[in-house]
Chain A
Amino acid sequence: MARSSDDVPAWVDLALLPLVNLLAAFAIAAVVIAILGENPFKALWVLFYGALGYGEAIGFTLYYATNFIFTGLAVAVAFHAGLFNIGGEGQAYLGGLGCGLVGLALGGWPPAIVLPLAVLAAMLFGAAWAFIPGYLQAKRGSHIVITTIMFNFIAAALMTYLLVNVFIKPGQQSPESREFDPSSWMPFVHEVAARVGITIARSPLNMSVVVALVASVGVWVFLWRTRWGYALRVVGHNETAAVYGGIAPVRVVIGAMALSGALAGLVGVNAIMGDQHRLILNFTGGYGFVGIAVALMGRNHPVGICLAALLFGALYQGGAELSFDLPRLTKEVVVVIQGLIILFCGAFEGLFRPRLLALFRRAPAPAPAKA
């Protein structure tokens, strides 16, 4: 890991510190919960149990985490190329459209053909939606933050149009497409497990989670172990040095955005092929935006992103349980807790850092940094 400080044990930087921050966030959240008249310990227990306490909960947590991994990776890849992609939401939306089209068109085909095609289509559509802002940034200098924000809105308009006017199931009032043929669904993890004789609780968790893990490893290998990833990082840090090093920033910028969009597009596979099995409105549910926090909290590193995604997945699922079991803790309170956690684990990361690092720096001699 390239990022850990040179002079403290890596576990302090990567595990202890986030934990301390998490505790601080929970402490503040506990105060809020107490003010609202609930027992904070009970609430935190429900949150924790509801997220990880039993099979189905874990399934939901991992399902959400899958979405966050995709959008987190998307943000991170762009970030390493020096680009701030706020457009994950729109790219995910389009990704869903891409795989949805495959699901609708090739319903009855063998899964071995449909599923890879669906994944490919999701990536392609997501990439295409990010390609345009990338191209405009590289060639015309149009600021990527504005264009990707705009493309989120355009994607929403496009999808609403398509669902209301084109894909809507006739005679139905809900703007959603017909259901795909079950053969084209991304298999649920509980089904796959059942096939090999393991019983796990039923949840929307589907094989997309494997795609997410593969994507994480892939992104890591790509960024830190290939020349293309190398070129991308050089461009992100120093464009002049990139030109000097024989790298064409224009191509890298466009390529990085396309890759970023492709990763965001995979949300479509998880949500559409894996869970909804039909095209619907708003299935992106803000995952694209939260992906920004996930990426930055995960320090733009796939391992960190997976951990942060897990945290957010747990918050989504545990939060739902929280408002389910403790009616006084409405969905808004859950959002407050999420905000606090992002604030403390992300923004106030430096609050305890110097003290904690100082505590550990004294002990071992400045060892050479390990990769």
Chain B
Amino acid sequence: MTARSAPSPSTGEGRGGNNVPPAIELRGIDKRFGPVHANRAISLSVPAGTIHGVVGENGAGKSTLMSILYGYYQADAGEIWIKGRRRDIRSTADAIAAGIGMVHQHFMLVDTFTVLENVVLGVEGGPLLRRGMERARAELERLEREYKLEVDIDAVVGDLAVGLRQRIEILKALYRGAEVLILDEPTGVLTPAEADHLFRILRALKAEGKTAILITHKLREVMAVTDNVTVMRRGQVVATVRTAETSPAALAEHMVGRKVLLSVQRTPAKPGREVLRVEGLQVIDGAGIARVRDVGFAVRAGEIVGVAGVAGNGQSELIEAIAGMRAVAAGRIVLNGQEVATRATHLTPRALRDRKLAHIPEDRQRMGLVVPFAAHDSAILGQQGKPAFNIGPLLNQRGIIDSCQHQMDRYDVRPDDPHLKSANFSGGNQQKIVLAREIETDPDLLLVGQPTRGVDIGAIEFIHRRLIELRDAGKAILLVSVELDEILGLADRILVMNEGRIVGELAAEEADEQKLGLLMAGVARAA
């Protein structure tokens, strides 16, 4: 089943005759984390001046492999060849010196620093900051212009939106003169427009003869920008193919080892009674900035209402306000016909849960789980007071573990061990744990934020199916996502948010990517 059409990782070939040696060649890379065998004898060759895709389900070992190349982890066995020379990469400093740059899946930025400080960290150019910083500023401004990577150099990173933070990561790599740029799931946090912008940059780099390795779960992107693509599964390379000679369906099958439905099948919605009503809602954040402004809409039973928008336009605050986690500055929220939040009073998250609200948060690590807890303990977060999980004053330990085991089996969580630490599950599986927990409360209203961020296709298919099932069971769902595919595939009605306001509402049938894109960018305004 391994389709090895083009660039073979075998040696020799790349160096024969007048051929340029591959920019990167990995041979027999092996890596274990305690009992986890993350990479098994991986060989991979990336020709110079190409964009190379790496795909694979969650936990396949993609990030690990790239971190080894970047010197962050040390391989247990194997060799790294760069431009035809074997290199010992013992630290990230070695990798940087070898011309490798990496944009990590979880950004490696110091939140309290300015953009400039983050970029120069490690390449300050002298023991005193002043001179180096001035030079860096000039150089950075040049890079920003050249690649259209605008960010305010003096902004504090903690205040910036994720899309901007990614630009900083790319700037960091470029500033260090990277010849090979590794991007680990860069588009997970970007809007389509931002993603397109990123790809333009990648193509520009390629035109300069630079090489890029792109890890992503989005096959569309693989097809659009890469020259070759490697598929990983369970720590192994299962295929390396020329992009031009493959299809999304074929890649997906390689990834999960079976056929995958890439789009969701669904019947038209049959909206029932109104479950959620939001009127004139205003939310102000800690810094006193209004993040949600005069927002009003309703969600009915049996329908999915999607909220589209570029990340950081108030969607998160909107969801958190409805979930009772943020104060309401003006307006009101009505749940099941009962007023639950106004400026004067608002129910606590706990009381809202008692009123059949469930919430799948957009950031599972920060909110959805308690990372160091055993899975079964994370699986009752928010439900710790539920009678089924308590016997008198005590927690019903057996019941909790059984329930978690049951959910793991039903939602195909792997490994299906409730005793394992939550941190030890891959992103997709963590998401399934949260999903299972929230859906199984049998809510009237389900708030869903970025349900498939960083989740592999197999899991996405599953999650989407569950959401549709839930809708069909007569639940009201409010879905926030920056993935237009997802919104278009799932939502029955679509609201578009821009700078805290709802700038448009479209029925599913009339929506398409272009219309949404314009609304999201704030250029158009729909009735």
Contacts and interface: CB of A to CB of B under 8 A. Distances in A.
Direct contact of A and B (CB under 8 A): yes
Contact of B385 (A6, A227, A233, A234): A227
26 contacts: A6-B34, A6-B35, A7-B34, A221-B394, A225-B395, A227-B389, A234-B370, A237-B373, A238-B367, A240-B366, A241-B367, A241-B369, A243-B349, A244-B323, A244-B325, A244-B367, A244-B381, A244-B382, A245-B382, A246-B348, A246-B351, A246-B382, A247-B350, A248-B348, A361-B34, A371-B419
Contacts of A240: 366-367
B84 to A, nearest CB: 37
Contacts of A238: 366-367, 370-371
Nearest to B349: A246
Interface stretch (A48-56, A159-167, A253-261, A362-370): A362-370
Given A238-B371, A241-B368, A246-B350, A230 B35 contact: no
Given A227-B390, A244-B359, A237 B367 contact: no
A6 B424 contact: yes
Nearest to A246: B350
A247 B369 CA distance: 14
B35 to A, nearest CB: 4
A15 interface: no
B228 to A, nearest CB: 36
B164 to A, nearest CB: 22
Interface string B155-174: 00000000000000000000
A60 B371 CA distance: 42
Contact of A369 (B351, B389, B395, B420): B420
User: Which among A226, A245, A368 has the greatest number of chain B C-beta atoms within 10 A?
Assistant: A245
Contact of B381 (A7, A241, A370, A371): A241
A231 interface: yes
Given A240-B367, A241-B366, 6 more contacts: A227-B389, A230-B395, A246-B382, A369-B419, A369-B420, A371-B397
Interface residues of A, number: 27
Contacts of B417: 368-369
User: Which among A244, A247, A369 has the greatest number of chain B C-beta atoms within 10 A?
Assistant: A244
Contacts, number: 83
A225 B389 CA distance: 10
Contact of A246 (B353, B369, B372, B419): B353
Given A227-B385, A241-B366, A244-B382, A6 B420 contact: yes
B35 A243 contact: no
A301 B413 CA distance: 30
Contact of B371 (A6, A233, A237): A237
A368 B370 contact: no
Size bracket, chain B contacts: 35 or more
B367 to A, nearest CB: 5
B420 A245 contact: no
A198 interface: no
A238 B367 CA distance: 8
A361 B186 CA distance: 37
A233 B395 CA distance: 14
A240 B371 CA distance: 12
User: Which among A2, A234, A238 has the greatest number of chain B C-beta atoms within 10 A?
Assistant: A238
A240 B368 CA distance: 9
A370 B419 contact: yes
Contacts of A237: 370-373
A349 B420 CA distance: 24
Interface string A345-371: 000000000000000010000101111
Interface string A206-233: 0000000000000001000111001101
A245 B325 CA distance: 10
A149 B426 CA distance: 42
Interface string B23-56: 0000000000011000000000000000000000
B506 interface: no
Interface string B363-393: 0001111111110010011101100011001
Contacts of B370: 233-234, 237-238, 241
